[in-house]
Amino acid sequence: MFTVTVNTVTITSAAADLIVERLRHVPGFEDAALSGEPQPITGGFWATLLLLPLDAAPVPAVVLRLMPDTPLTAKETAFQREAFRQGFPVPEILLAGDRDAGLGRAYLVMAHIAGAPPLAGLDGVAALRRLPSTARALPQLLGSVMAQLHTLDPAPFLALRDTGVSVETTDLLDSWTAWADALGRTDVATAAARLSELRPTPAATVVCHGDLHPFNLLVDADGKWTLLDWTAAVIAEPAYDTSFTSILLRHPPLAVPRMLQPAIDAAGAYVTQRFQASYQANGQSLPDPARLAWHTALHSVRILLEVEAWRHDGTVADHLGHPWLSIGRTAAAVLSRATGTAVTRQ
């Protein structure tokens, strides 16, 4: 008997046994058995991840991903399964269920993939020491991953609408404006409404990950990569993805002494340019600056509201290290500039 607690979520031996029992209905796992206690996997802020070691199975372990939102779990499962079907490098989903399945949260069980994020284990000073090699390799990797992602056929993903899965960004600003009002952020609500009025003319859409950054990639010893965490995936313009990754690269959430911040800022600008160049070198067209700027402002709304929601719920401490906490001031400035509305970080 055991109990494992991760991110305030508790998994008992009975819950782990329940997962393995269901896993035995998956071809190849008929004789699977838990070979030890689940091991926490660090790095997640929204989802809780555990490694389940197995005996008598085609793989030595699987990953259990527990999530608090059933509709988002359904979307992630559907997108990831379709990406896998189209041959894109993602973990295969073996099981999925909602919060009524006995675990108290929606969940999915995935194949365990070897590898580590490209920036795993680095603090700010270590990142600075590796700045030259990182500035060369990381943007090339991210650009090539995104370019390959944007070649997927979006039609099967759009067909998911018939199952009730939300797959587009059409109503995002309306819902975020209402969210801002509910949180008492009238400045963000006003800016979001103005941003909706400034929306560019529609462009062709692609499959977007919506959260493509170094910590959602695993890279193994041979350089083979796998893209994780499809919760934010949507069908949208390429600018939706390219702007999101660009703002994170331009303002990396690294803790460094103040005197070293100019070097990080310069490196952020350089890495962003190289990422965008890599995206183009891999056969994609970079959206025009105005379209990129609008989508950067769109993501700034999301950044500000998510942080505000953490403050409202008293859970900021649970998100220490999250990039939103370090780039909130930038997001407020971007949104103010794009909409002519005074937006504060708070």
> Cβ(226)–Cβ(335) under 8 Å?
no
Output Rg (C-alpha) for the chain, integer angstroms: 20
Number of helical (H) and strand (E) elements in the chain, helices listed first? 11, 12
- Say which residue the tokens 């105005």 belong to: 290
Supply the pLDDT for residue 128.
54
Select from 101, 6, 45 the least CA-distant residue to 232.
45
What's the rounded Cα separation, in Å, for the pair 97 and 90? 19
Supply the pLDDT for residue 312.
92
* 130 vs 40: which has the higher pLDDT: 40
Q: State the virtual CA torsion across 264, 233, 83, 288 in degrees, nearest 10.
A: -60
Supply the pLDDT for residue 300.
96
Q: Which domains does the chain have, with CATH numbers?
A: 3-111 (3.30.200.20), 124-339 (3.90.1200.10)
Residue type present at position 237? E
What's the rounded Cα separation, in Å, for the pair 345 and 341? 13
% of the chain at pLDDT higher than 70? 87
Q: How many CA atoms are closer than 13 Å to the CA of 121, on its beta-carbon side?
A: 4
Three-point CA angle 95, 99, 105, nearest 5°: 85
Q: How does DSSP classify residue 33?
A: E
**What backbone phi and psi angles, to 5 degrees, belong to 154?**
-75, -15
> Cβ(195)–Cβ(173) under 8 Å?
yes
Residue type present at position 154? P
CB atoms under 10 Å from CB of 36, counted, come to 13
> Cβ(183)–Cβ(305) under 8 Å?
yes
Give the bridge partners for 3, in sequence order: 12
CA distances from 56 to 38, 50, 62, 296 (A): 16, 19, 13, 48
What's the rounded Cα separation, in Å, for the pair 195 and 182? 18
**Strands 48-55, 33-34: pairing kind:** antiparallel
What's the rounded Cα separation, in Å, for the pair 223 and 141? 10
The mean predicted confidence, pLDDT, of the chain is: 87
Supply the pLDDT for residue 287.
96
Chain CA centroid to CA 85, Å = 20
Q: Rounded to the nearest 10 degrees, what angle do helices 289-313 and 172-182 cross at?
A: 30
110-132 tens-digit pLDDT: 999 988 888 655 555 555 565 55
> Cβ(51)–Cβ(42) under 8 Å?
no
% of the chain at pLDDT higher than 90? 57
Residue type present at position 202? P
Supply the pLDDT for residue 13.
76
Convert 278-302 to b/e letters by CB count within 10 Å (16 or more is b): bbeebebebbeeebbbbbbbbbbbb
Q: pLDDT-based confidence at 266, cuts 50/70/90?
A: confident
Looking at the predicted structure, is the pLDDT value of residue 134 above 80?
A: no
